[in-house]
Amino acid sequence: MSSVATKAGPSERVGRPPAIPQFAGRPRYGEKVIRFVLRIAAILTVVITVGILIALIVPSLGFFSQVSVGEFLFGTRWAPRFAEASFGVIPLITATLWTTTIALLVAIPLGLGAAILLAEYASSKARKTLKPILEILAGVPTVVYGLFALQFVQATVLRDWLQLDTGAFSVLAAGLVMGVMIVPTIASISEDAMSAVPSALRQGSAALGANRMQTTMRVVFPAALSGIVAAIVLGISRAIGETMIVAIAAGSQARIVTGPLEQGQTMTGFIANAALGDSRVGSIEYDTLFAVGLLLFGITLIINAISIRFVRRFREAY
Amino acid sequence: MTTQDLRDDEPEALHELAIELERKARARSIPDVPVGVMSCKDVDVYYGKFRAVTGVNLEFGRNEITALIGPSGCGKSTLLRSLNRMNDLVDGARVDGDVLFMGEDIYRKGVDPIEVRRRIGMVFQKPNPFPKSIYDNIAYGPRVTGMKVDSMDDLVEEALTKAVLWDEVKDKLKQSAFGLSGGQQQRLCIARTIAVKPDVILMDEPCSALDPIATMRIEDLMQELRQDYTIVIVTHNMQQAARVADRTAFFTALADKGTGDRTGVLVEFGRTTQIFEDPRDQRTEDYISGRFG
Ligand SMILES: Nc1ncnc2c1ncn2[C@@H]1O[C@H](COP(=O)(O)OP(=O)(O)OP(=O)(O)O)[C@@H](O)[C@H]1O
Ligand SMILES: [Mg+2]
């Protein structure tokens, strides 16, 4: 997500007759091949991204020829399958907002706390054992988390133990578990960023009479800010885009969500549900999927742009 | 060489002379036995099982500059770091013996290493300004230590002035410290250390990353600071030790016959003039005359 381009000098030309004979190098064909492969890889990434965008935009155009953008973005009733169809996306957005916010409230403090602990307090031995464990956690399939949210968090903890007034699904259960799922992502990337801060800065801070927490918060944290923000943005993107957990545990009725104990269908939850159904290609139902997908894409893009500005403004590059 | 250069050269030569005279004058003015602010009593420093330094007894005199010299690996930095408990940050580092600061052992139970480091500051070999503005670099120490400050602006100006950096940076206090040259960065680090008003300043090869002119400025600065502070400097530069230090301690490393571990020991400690002109130990003489090390 870094927007800083690497400023390489003009590339050395390979195989050009040298001006001074002593400096005649052997032609480095290997380098040429590697450069070619890398260039292809770079181009491919761009092509794929553009391809995804086009694949989203084209069916969306079909959708927006029948439903106005205003009606889509600001409408408060989401009922694409009903005879009296309605395409206001607000209910989906509220559910996504709830699950994402709850997830981040869990994931950011826990993730950053774990990162600080690992990077600044743990012995190098402890770090070497804990970090891989954390990264394994990041690899647990989300369907497992989804079942955990549904069976344990919602049914057992929220309903049986806490006796909360909630149904079979809730955005709270989905959000909490999603938060746990994101912790390793945020912790691991933030820890990398903090560990990369030169220890000379820590020593300089300590030599002035700063304690460890002060050194961490005032020197290491600002210096690692771009990496930490990148970690959080990745966390947010994962929360917004997470599908399995919300499809299983958040519910499937698209109503505006006004509290954490309510069920709700998120944008991704809708896509997952509807995509499993029998929408005909080219029908408005089918195109709806892509309109919602495009919206997701747009939201993620905006968050990225904001975070880049934030980092530019506040980071203390070393 | 242009006339401009000539004109610039002259005051510099005069300046060198002045320093030389000042040094001679000073050499006479220090007491025979240092009036200790800090001292080491039978200090050993270990990294895990490895004994890096052993049996060091030293007295660092008030308002004096003490130079620690010796070949690479003899434990100068190790000893210096043990003087303000920076070694605590190294896994496995341990100090035996007493390091006394104003009569109190800084390794005694109940002593807060944070407070020790506030009273005994340190300047590092490589300039390590924080990635913050020049102003915030200076204000950092007073802020984190909760110093009572009437006006931070005044404190910043005072510290930068003492470090002979004020005139060069007064118009860009809000700019990043990374925009400064290496020599300016090192003076900034010294200013940063001064700002917390320590009693002792430890410097580990503070000029080794600098050009001769920047080095000269830092040496001048040390002479200034000597009025208010006690300074301990590690240096590989013999001329520098001779120029700036009131007393000099020469270390060397002895190999253990069994393990082959090289452990640093103090060979000789005395007035700089004595160490350089009339060394008592053959090893000192060899090192200073460049036959060894
Ligand atoms: N963090 C550390 N862990 C383990 N051993 C160390 C550590 N730092 C230094 N040593 C060892 O302690 C000995 C003394 O090192 P030190 O850096 O104090 O030497 P020095 O006299 O400052 O050398 P130089 O002049 O090259 O800076 C060396 O053998 C070194 O390998
Ligand atoms: Mg050293």
In this predicted model, what pLDDT tens digit does every residue of A246-300 receive, in sequence order?
A: 999 999 899 999 999 999 999 999 999 888 777 777 788 888 999 999 999 999 9
Q: pLDDT at residue B175 above 60? A: yes
What 3-state class would DSSP assign to B53?
strand
Q: How far is CA B281 from CA B248, B265, B271, B277, in A?
A: 13, 13, 14, 12
- Report the pLDDT averaged over residues B127-154: 95
Residues B46-94: tens digit of each pLDDT:
999 999 999 999 999 999 999 999 999 999 999 999 999 999 988 889 9
Q: What is the mean pLDDT of the segment spanning B18-22?
A: 65
* Measured CA distances, A127 to A60, A223, A230 (Å): 48, 21, 21
Ligand 1 pocket test: pick from B43, B44, B45, B47 the residue with the most ligand atoms within 8 Å of its Cβ: B47
**Does a structural domain hold residue B160?**
yes
Residue B12's H or E segment, with its range, is helix B3-29
> What topology is assigned to A90-314 in CATH?
MetI-like fold (1.10.3720)
Ligand 1 — pocket residues by CB below 6 A?
B 47, 52, 72-78, 90, 236, 262
pLDDT of B3 reads: 42
pTM: 0.82
What's the pLDDT at A5?
43
Nearest-by-Cβ selection for B91 from A124, A210, A316 = A124
Exposure string over A262-296, b if 16+ CB within 10 A, otherwise e: bbbbbbbbbbbebeeeebeeeebbbbbbbbbbbbb
Domain count, chain B: 1
Which residue owns the Cα nearest ligand 1 atom 9?
Answer: B78
Q: In chain A, how long is the greatest CA-to-CA distance?
A: 86
Residue range A62-115, pLDDT digits in tens: 899 999 999 999 999 999 888 888 999 999 999 999 999 999 999 999 999 999
Q: Which residues of B touch A202 (CB under 8 A)?
A: 89
What amino acid is encoded at B24 in this protein? Answer: K
- pLDDT tens readout for residues A46-71: 999 999 999 999 999 989 999 999 99
The span from the first CA to the last CA of chain B, in angstroms, equals 38
Q: Say if residues B253 and B71 touch (Cβ distance below 8 Å).
A: yes
The answer to the question of residue B70 being in a domain is yes
Residue B56 domain flag: yes
**Interatomic CA distance for residues B248 and B215, integer angstroms:** 19
Average pLDDT, chain A: 89
Which tokens sit at A246? 């919300």
Domain assignment present for residue B293? The answer is no
**Alpha-carbon torsion angle B215, B216, B218, B223, nearest 10:** 150
Contacts of B114 in chain A (CB under 8 A): 209-211
pLDDT at B6 over 80: no
Look at chain A and count its residues.
318
Give the pLDDT confidence of A161-177 residue by residue, as tens digits. Answer: 999 999 999 999 999 99
Report d(CA A228, CA A225) in Å as an integer: 5
The residue whose CA has the least distance to atom 12 of ligand 1 is: B52
Pairing outcome for strands B104-105 and B230-234: unpaired
Residues in chain A closer than 8 A to B121 (CB atoms): 207-208
Give the pLDDT band (50/70/90) at residue A158: very high
Q: Classify residue B36: in a domain, yes or no.
A: no
B84, B91, B126: residue with CB nearest A200: B126
Residue A202 near chain B (CB below 8 Å): yes
Q: Could you give the CA distance from residue B184 to residue A158 in angstroms, rounded to a whole number? A: 61
Contact B83, B99 (CB under 8 A): yes
Q: Does the structure show a pLDDT above 50 at B293?
A: no
Q: Which site among B143, B144, B189, B202 would you substitute to test the A interface, given the most A Cβ atoms closer than 10 Å to its Cβ?
A: B144
Asked if A313 reaches chain B (Cβ–Cβ under 8 Å), the answer is no
Chain A nearest CA to B28, separation (Å): 33
Task: For residue B185, give the CATH number of its domain.
Answer: 3.40.50.300
The mean of the pLDDT values for chain B is 88
The answer to whether position B33 is within a domain reads no
Between B21 and A99, name the one with better pLDDT. Answer: A99
Residue type, B227: Q
C-alpha A250/C-alpha A261 separation (Å) is 10
Mutating to test ligand 1, I would choose from B72, B77, B83 the residue with most ligand atoms within 8 A of its C-beta, which is: B77
Note down the domain range covering B24: 3-28+41-288
Longest dimension (CA), chain B: 64
